[in-house]
């Protein structure tokens, strides 16, 4: 909405014709803008990824405009987007409310006024009294005073287009007319020969039989009699054909990546070479020493991983489990199996705090059993770093834990066999690839790859997993360890902040601890900081005599650690922080989580934060403080997120709703998946086509390898590379 007093927004010009500029006849049929090489428009094409002819041909219209008909003013209604042909009966420049060109057009059945706020002498010339013109725009107003603001126009006459005019998605600097011409050219030049063998088209699924070429020709230039609804909701057979092709490309490339991997070698971790002193394996002794029993889910998932590790094929497995489900111990058991076989294991976490937590936990479990652990992080002193590197290179360290520092060039493993990545969605494709290339020493000599275990607390909904992660085996921890009490979640308006502080006081009296999280403002880390600092001061004042700590991302690591350990030891009652605690902090005595400006957080982030409480026996709660700012109420999406949080504690349900709210593009984007996104197919509605593509992909790779390669190349070009991670 425009604020009161602002000038009225001018209606968006119809994109079929250039705005406020007369189009020549030639341009109308096929815009003939001659543009030198490396023009801004060409750069814009590059930006859209439209480099090859086939890319252009596959750039399908967002929608269509019907320029095949001339309407009669007498029949047109307020709000109609119409094309009218008539005679100019009046033309003048007026100055109120501001300078503008006003032209009256009469088509014999009625008249309307054309208004131009920006205009050139050429406008006036084309639109001079007596001219016959064709105009196109949105008709506004009642029968008496109808007008079009900034319609596109040109001299009347000439043939009407025979098909609907496509409107393509574009970017700044790339005029629709130029793009149309480029797409037409690409479509004419591209190799559109069939890649899907006919027997598959006819045998499987409800696919239309039209050829790719026909489908594309049709979608770029549909006949005017086609049902626009079928085009717009993409249910038309031509759309079905394109979506099927796209899904097939995706499935083929993933299956191919899987097969490439299956052809690679990894050390089979089935021996038990390392029996530190006693007869039992490290893994058995680790299990024996745990202060708890594994849940059934942990046992099942552990067995799935074991089975992979014993093979000569590199594992590529995602372990997903809700916050607090107990992924760490599963990772530790896998690491133990790896060391039992005489190999090294690396564990990489996205933040230093998280890596540190893993380190202390794993060290406490494994060092008493004789395992040497190396620690790698960016903030380490050079001397310490050198020591660690030596331990890793000599193979003395069986287990290496750290942050991104683990994948730095200088790090050389003697014999790495298993790489574990925690919170995998926080790492980019390149980083995952780097970790996999870390097999040096013995591994490199034999051309082997390490096994890869990725962990995440943000589960991937099934449809996405099937589609985007077909080259990934998934293990799911669908059970929480016993003794957890469910967390109650409350939405509280920020105006009632005092009541929340009262509640904190109550919890403190019961000896409990509290997290207070301040929002992350992406554009400005410093505002972020002011926020947290202010809240820290307020709480310190409101809760005298209580240790209130502050933790934020800009603090030196040593200071962060000091604060963390004061909180962990219970010396501090309240921890105010920015989202640095988002992942991995484990303080069972904390029973209340307050999230300030909860409306600014993403859903999975909120869920992760909430998972920091409810880890002990005490009843836990999460308070989502929201503020509507100056607005009367929260935005729709923010409301949907908070509602989901209040309604469920289940990470899988949260992920499902998150996908619903954000759509796959953003959902996956947050994971830096690197997977080429689907442009046309929609997993929510195209399940049947996905099933078809999944069934066809292996058959096609087996029987028509050449066609399969052409198909992948056509649809994904260079993007298929990403799938290797």
- Using CB under 6 A, list all residues that contact ligand ADP: 292-295, 298, 321, 323-329, 457, 481, 586
* Region class of 537: left (phi > 0), else alpha (psi between -120 and 50), else beta: alpha
Find the shortest distance in angstroms from Cβ 453 to ligand ADP: 13
71 vs 593 by CB, closer to ligand ADP: 593
Report the sign of the C-alpha dihedral through residues 300, 303, 307, 313, in that order.
positive
Rounded-to-integer distance, Cα 4 and Cα 652, Å:
44
651 vs 674 by CB, closer to ligand ADP: 651
DSSP 214-242: HHHHHHHS--TTS-HHHHHTT-SHHHHHH
Peptide bond into 97 cis (omega under 30): yes
Find the shortest distance in angstroms from Cβ 352 to ligand ADP: 16
Rounded-to-integer distance, Cα 206 and Cα 204, Å:
7
295 vs 507 by CB, closer to ligand ADP: 295
Residues in the chain: 725
Pick the closest to residue 442 from 374, 342, 346, 373 (CA basis).
342
Residue nearest to ligand ADP (CB): 326
454 vs 466 by CB, closer to ligand ADP: 454
For the CA atoms of 593, 594, 595, 599, the dihedral, rounded to the nearest 10 degrees, stands at: 110
205 vs 481 by CB, closer to ligand ADP: 481
Rounded-to-integer distance, Cα 357 and Cα 363, Å:
10
329 vs 420 by CB, closer to ligand ADP: 329
Find the shortest distance in angstroms from Cβ 267 to ligand ADP: 26
Find the shortest distance in angstroms from Cβ 329 to ligand ADP: 5
Find the shortest distance in angstroms from Cβ 718 to ligand ADP: 36
328 vs 380 by CB, closer to ligand ADP: 328
Q: Which H/E stretch holds residue 102?
A: strand 100-106
- CA-to-CA separations, 139 to 151, 164, 228, 467, in angstroms, rounded: 9, 20, 21, 44
* Region class of 716: left (phi > 0), else alpha (psi between -120 and 50), else beta: alpha
Phi, psi of 112 (to 5 degrees): -150, 165
Find the shortest distance in angstroms from Cβ 455 to ligand ADP: 7
Rounded to the nearest angstrom, the gap between the alpha carbon of residue 204 and the centroid of all alpha carbons in its chain is 31
Angle between helices 237-262 and 705-716 (to 10 degrees): 110
Strand order in the sheet with 132-138: 147-149, 111-116, 100-106, 81-94, 132-138, 152-155
Strand order in the sheet with 590-595: 487-493, 620-626, 590-595, 513-517, 574-577, 548-551
479 vs 494 by CB, closer to ligand ADP: 479
348 vs 439 by CB, closer to ligand ADP: 348
Find the shortest distance in angstroms from Cβ 333 to ligand ADP: 11
293 vs 462 by CB, closer to ligand ADP: 293
Find the shortest distance in angstroms from Cβ 418 to ligand ADP: 17
Find the shortest distance in angstroms from Cβ 302 to ligand ADP: 11
Rounded-to-integer distance, Cα 188 and Cα 662, Å:
36
Find the shortest distance in angstroms from Cβ 359 to ligand ADP: 13
Rounded-to-integer distance, Cα 589 and Cα 552, Å:
21
310 vs 484 by CB, closer to ligand ADP: 484
Find the shortest distance in angstroms from Cβ 294 to ligand ADP: 5
């Amino acid at each position: 909405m425009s604020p009161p007093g602002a000038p009225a927004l001018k209606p968006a010009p119809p994109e079929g014709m250039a705005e406020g500029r007369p189009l020549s006849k030639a341009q109308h049929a096929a815009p003939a803008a001659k543009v030198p090489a490396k023009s801004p428009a060409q750069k814009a094409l590059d930006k859209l990824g439209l480099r090859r002819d086939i890319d252009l041909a596959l750039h399908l219209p967002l929608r269509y405009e019907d320029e095949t008909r001339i309407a009669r003013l007498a029949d047109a209604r307020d709000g109609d987007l119409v094309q009218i042909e008539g005679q100019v009966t009046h033309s003048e420049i007026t100055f109120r409310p501001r300078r503008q060109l006003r032209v009256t057009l009469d088509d014999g059945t009625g008249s309307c006024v054309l208004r131009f706020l920006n205009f050139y002498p050429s406008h006036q010339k084309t639109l001079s009294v007596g001219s016959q013109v064709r105009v196109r725009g949105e008709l506004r107003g009642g029968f008496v005073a109808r007008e079009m603001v900034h319609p596109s126009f040109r001299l009347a006459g000439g043939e009407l287009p025979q098909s609907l005019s496509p409107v393509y998605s574009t970017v700044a600097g790339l005029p629709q007319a130029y793009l149309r011409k480029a797409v037409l050219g690409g479509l004419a030049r591209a190799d559109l020969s069939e890649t899907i063998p006919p027997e598959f088209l006819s045998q499987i699924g409800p696919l239309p039989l039209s050829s790719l070429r026909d489908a594309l020709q049709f979608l770029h230039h549909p006949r005017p009699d086609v049902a626009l609804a079928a085009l717009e909701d993409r249910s038309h057979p031509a759309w079905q054909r394109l979506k099927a092709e796209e899904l097939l490309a995706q499935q083929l490339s993933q299956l191919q990546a899987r097969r490439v991997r299956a052809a690679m070698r990894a050390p089979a971790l089935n021996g038990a070479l390392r029996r530190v002193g006693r007869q039992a394996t490290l893994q058995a002794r680790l299990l024996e020493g745990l202060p708890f029993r594994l849940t059934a889910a942990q046992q099942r998932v552990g067995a799935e991983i074991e089975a992979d590790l014993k093979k000569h094929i590199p594992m590529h497995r995602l372990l997903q489990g809700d916050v607090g489900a107990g992924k760490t111990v599963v990772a530790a058991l896998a690491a133990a199996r790896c060391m039992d076989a005489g190999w090294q294991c690396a564990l990489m976490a996205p933040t230093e705090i998280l890596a540190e937590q893993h380190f202390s936990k794993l060290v406490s479990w494994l060092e008493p059993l004789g395992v040497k652990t190396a620690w790698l992080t960016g903030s380490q002193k050079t001397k310490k770093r050198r020591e660690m590197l030596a331990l890793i290179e000599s193979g003395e360290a069986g287990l290496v834990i750290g942050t991104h520092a683990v994948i730095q060039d200088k790090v050389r493993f003697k014999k790495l066999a298993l790489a574990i990545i925690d919170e995998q969605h926080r790492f980019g494709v390149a980083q995952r690839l780097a970790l996999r290339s870390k097999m040096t020493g013995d591994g490199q000599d034999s051309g082997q790859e390490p096994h890869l275990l990725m962990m995440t607390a943000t589960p991937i909904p099934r449809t996405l997993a099937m589609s985007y992660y077909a080259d990934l085996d998934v293990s799911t921890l669908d059970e929480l360890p016993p003794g957890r009490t469910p967390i109650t979640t409350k939405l509280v308006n920020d105006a009632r902040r005092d009541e929340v502080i009262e509640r904190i006081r109550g919890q403190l009296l019961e000896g409990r601890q509290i997290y207070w999280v301040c929002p992350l403002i992406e554009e400005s880390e410093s505002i972020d900081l002011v926020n947290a600092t202010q809240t820290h001061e307020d709480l310190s004042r409101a809760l005298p005599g209580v240790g209130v700590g502050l933790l934020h991302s800009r603090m030196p690591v040593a200071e962060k650690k000091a604060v963390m350990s004061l909180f962990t030891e219970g010396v501090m009652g309240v921890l105010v922080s920015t989202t640095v605690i988002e992942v991995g902090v484990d303080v069972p005595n904390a029973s209340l989580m307050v999230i300030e400006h909860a409306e600014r957080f993403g859903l999975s982030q909120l869920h992760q934060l909430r998972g920091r409480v409810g880890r002990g026996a005490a009843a836990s709660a999460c308070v989502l403080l929201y503020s509507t700012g100056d607005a009367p109420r929260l935005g729709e999406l923010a409301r949907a997120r908070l509602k989901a949080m209040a309604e469920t504690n289940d990470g899988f349900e949260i992920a499902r709703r998150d996908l619903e709210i954000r759509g796959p593009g953003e959902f996956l984007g947050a994971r830096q998946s690197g997977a080429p996104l689907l442009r046309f197919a929609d997993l929510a509605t195209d399940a049947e086509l996905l099933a078809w593509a999944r069934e066809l992909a292996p058959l096609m790779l087996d029987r028509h390898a050449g066609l399969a390669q052409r198909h992948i190349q056509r649809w994904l070009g260079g993007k298929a590379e990403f799938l290797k991670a």
